[in-house]
Amino acid sequence: MEMHEYIPVDIFCRQHGVELAVISSLQSYGLIEILRVNEIEYVEQNHLAEAEKVVRLYSELNINPEGIDAIVNLLQRIKEMQSEIQFLKNRLNLYED
């Protein structure tokens, strides 16, 4: 395991000024993925951006985990719809000259 790819949760909390309990709560809603190795909890580098986004929504906009869950799902749908629009625009080019 490449350790630099994993950020200990306590460092993550310190960095973002949030309590450990907040991370546990967000994890229980499936909003943050935590990896446990030798009794130490880590945030994977690959999931860092998503975890930071969730923490920002929680601490900066005072949105509760249920609200964040709904927002994350809606943002995912928007992203999918945007790629579908782009795909359709590209298809439309076939018929335009």
Partner 1 sequence: MSFIDYYETLGINKNASEDDIKKAYRKLARKLHPDLNPNDKEAHSKFQKINEANEVLSDPEKRKKYDQYGEHWEHGEEYEQAQRANSRPRNTGEQSYAGDFDESNFSDFFASMFGGSSGGSSRAQVKYRGQDFNSELSITLEEAFTTHARTLKIQDKNIRITIPAGIENGQTIKLRGYGGKGVNGGPDGDLFIKFAISNASNMRRSGNDLYTTVDLDLYTAILGGEKTIETLSGKIKLKIKPETQNGTKSRLKGKGFPVYKKEGEFGDLFITYHVMVPTDLTDKQKELFIELQKLSQ
Q: Footprint of partner 1 on this chain (CB under 8 A)?
A: 15-17, 48-49, 52-53, 56-57, 60-63, 71, 75, 79, 86-87, 89-91, 93-94
State the minimum distance, in angstroms, from the CB of residue 51 to partner 1.
11
Question: What is the spatial distance between Cα 86 and Cα 15, in angstroms, rounded to a whole number?
Answer: 37
- Quick one: 44 or 52, whose CB is closer to partner 1? 52
| Residue closer to partner 1 (CB basis): 39 or 97 | 97
Minimal distance, residue 41 CB to partner 1, in Å: 19
DSSP structure class, residue 18: -
C-beta of 13 vs 34, nearer to partner 1: 13
Q: How far is the CB of 38 from partner 1 (least distance, A)?
A: 25
Instruction: Judge whether 6 and 37 are in contact, CB under 8 Å.
Output: yes
Contact yes or no for 33/49 (Cβ under 8 A): no
Residue 39 C-beta: closest distance to partner 1, Å:
26
| One-character DSSP codes across 25-89 | HHHHTTSS-EEEETTEEEEEHHHHHHHHHHHHHHHHH---HHHHHHHHHHHHHHHHHHHHHHHHH
